[in-house]
Amino acid sequence: MRRILLLVFVFIFVLGLPVFGITLQEAYQNALPGLGYDRLIELDPSHTYTGGLGIIGESVGIKGHGAVIDLQGGSIAVSGSSVIDMDACVVINGSNGLLVQNETTAFITQCSFYGNQKGIKFEGTSGSVTVLNTILAFNTEYGFACDEGSFIDLRYLDAYQNTLENYVKWCSG
């Protein structure tokens, strides 16, 4: 029996299969500057990243390469004078898949926001959000929600089966 367990661990080590989950916070903390960002997070699609992330006053690029981010009830929350650029991420199980606030500029491409409460929520006063080629599906409230005065640019989205609305603008205050 010990020999079988030893062989299993050897195969896991040699094949590089993940034994333990990786948090999105750990990936953020280990990220170095790159491509003009303060932090460039390169995700490995063979891993599932867990938990939320808070970004304040930084420029962050998340290159997902198709990796799953299971927020486990949390959010990717970005505020202050920040920049968030997300590409090819699958974001699931969050209160807000992505929460953008204040002066933040967000650029989201080729992502999927699935099974969150709100896929993307934008509460910006002077920031902007651009979302391209993205899927917003099966979120329990909204696919995309924003303030009425916000600058938004939504192109080539596939939004469906979001319980309350696919897109909503509301009056803040």
Assign 3-class secondary structure to 74-117.
CEEEEECCCEEEEECCEEECCCEEEEEEECCEEEEECCEEECCC
Tokens, residue 135: 């899927």
Is the Cβ–Cβ distance between 91 and 101 less than 8 Å? no
Give residue 147's pLDDT. Answer: 81
Contact 159, 166 (CB under 8 A): yes
Sign of the Cα pseudo-torsion (147, 113, 28, 76, in order):
positive
pLDDT for 151 equals 85
Nearest to 122 by CA among 139, 143, 137: 143
Per the CB < 8 A criterion, the answer to whether 104 and 80 are in contact is yes
- Inter-CA distances, 162 with 9, 22, 67, 135, 139, Å: 42, 28, 22, 11, 5
Domains, the chain, ranges and CATH?
A: 21-170 (2.160.20.10)
**pTM to 2 decimal places:** 0.86
10-residue mean pLDDT series, the chain (173 residues): 45 45 95 98 97 97 98 97 97 97 94 97 85 98 86 93 90 47
Question: By the 8 A CB rule, do 51 and 71 touch?
Answer: yes
